[in-house]
Amino acid sequence: MPPKGKRLQLQNGTLIERVAGWSIRHRALAIGGWLALVVLAVLSTSLVSGDSAVTKDPGESGAAQQVLNEQKDWEPVLENVLVQSRDKDGPAFKDDPELQQAVKDLVAEFGKTPGAVFRLRTPLDPQGEQQISADGRSGLVTFFVAGPNVKMDAHFDAVVDAVHKVADRHKDIRVVQAGDQSLSRAVDDAVKKDFAGAESTSLPITLVILLIVFGALVAAAVPLLLAATAVAAAFGLIGVFGQWVAVNSAVSSMILLIGVAVSIDYSLFYLRREREERAAGRTVAEALRITAKTSGHVVAVSGVTVMLCVSGLLLSGLDVFRGLTLGTILIVGLAMTGSVTVLPALLAALGHRVDKGRIPWLGKRRTTVLESRTWRRLAQKVVKRPLVWGGAAVVALVVMALPMFSMHLQDAAVVNSLPRSAPTVDAAIRMQDAFPGSPTPARIAVWNADGGSPDTPAVRAAVGRLHDEIAASDGRLFGPVSTVRVDDVLVVRVPLAGSGTDDDSHRALETLRDTALPRTLGKVDGVEYATAGRTAFAHDFAGRLSGRTFAVIAFVLVLAFVLLLLVFRSLTIPLVSIALNLLSMGASYGVLTWVFQYGNLSSPLGFTSYGGVAEWLPLFMFVVLFGLSMDYHIFVLSRIRERRQAGAEPRDAVVGGAAASAGVVTSAAVIMTAVFTIFITLSAIENKMMGVGMAVAILIDATLVRGILLPAALALLGRRAWELPRGLRRLPGGTSGSAPAGPTGAVSRPAEGVRRS
Residue range 97-108: average pLDDT?
Answer: 94
CA dihedral 531, 534, 537, 543 (to 10 degrees): -110
DSSP class of residue 318 equals: -
- The third-level CATH classification (topology) of the domain covering 371-418+541-725 is Multidrug efflux transporter AcrB transmembrane fold (1.20.1640)
540 within 8 A of 61, measured Cβ to Cβ? yes
The percent of residues in the chain predicted with pLDDT above 70, rounded, is 91
Contact 655, 383 (CB under 8 A): yes
**What does the pLDDT average to over 333-345?**
94
pLDDT of residue 3 exceeding 50, the answer is no
Which residues of 453-601 form beta strands (DSSP E)? 482-486, 489-494, 527-532
- Helix, strand or coil, per DSSP, at residue 475: coil
| Numbered ranges of CATH 1.20.1640.10 in the chain | 1-50+216-241+249-354, 371-418+541-725
- pLDDT at res. 39: 95
CA distance linking residue 445 with residue 424, whole number of Å? 27
Which residues does 478 contact at the CB level (< 8 Å), separation at least 6? Answer: 435, 436, 437, 438, 470, 494, 495, 496, 497, 508
Residue 341: how many other CB atoms lie within 10 Å? 21
More confident residue, 52 or 156: 156
- Residue-averaged pLDDT of the chain: 85
Q: 24-33 pLDDT, tens per residue?
A: 999 999 999 9
pLDDT value at position 447?
92
Q: What are phi and psi of 598, to 5 degrees?
A: -90, -10
Write out the H or E segment, with its range, that includes residue 443.
strand 442-448
Residue 596: its pLDDT value, please? Answer: 96
In this structure, of 50-54, 94-98, 501-505, 597-601, the range with the lowest mean pLDDT score is: 50-54
pLDDT of residue 667: 82
Share of the chain above pLDDT 90, in %: 37
pLDDT at 321: 87
The whole-angstrom distance between residue 613's C-alpha and the CA centroid of its chain comes to 14
338 half-sphere exposure, CB direction, 13 A CA radius: 35
Whether the predicted pLDDT of 342 surpasses 50: yes
Which residues on neighbouring strands pair with residue 613, listed in sequence order?
409
pLDDT in tens, 131-141: 898 888 999 99
Considering the domain delimited by 71-183+419-537, tell me its CATH architecture.
2-Layer Sandwich (3.30)
pLDDT at 232: 93
532 phi, psi to nearest 5 deg: -120, -165
Residue 176 reports pLDDT greater than 80: yes
Q: Is the pLDDT of residue 598 over 90?
A: yes
Q: 229 forms bridges with which residues in the sheet?
A: none
Q: What pLDDT sits at residue 47?
A: 75
Which of 36-40, 277-281, 314-318, 735-739 has maximum average pLDDT?
A: 36-40
Please indicate whether residue 248 or residue 77 has the higher confidence score (pLDDT): 77
Query: Do 21 and 8 touch, CB atoms closer than 8 A?
Result: no
CATH 3.30.70.1130 residue ranges of the chain are 71-183+419-537
Task: Read off the pLDDT band of 676 (50, 70, 90).
Answer: confident
Q: What is the mean pLDDT of residues 148-156?
A: 86
pLDDT at 204: 82
pLDDT of residue 688: 92
Tens digits of per-residue pLDDT, 684-713?
Answer: 898 899 999 999 999 999 889 988 999 999
Q: CATH number of 1-50+216-241+249-354: 3.10.20.600, 1.10.3720.10, 1.20.1640.10, 3.40.350.10? A: 1.20.1640.10
Q: Is the pLDDT of residue 50 over 70?
A: no
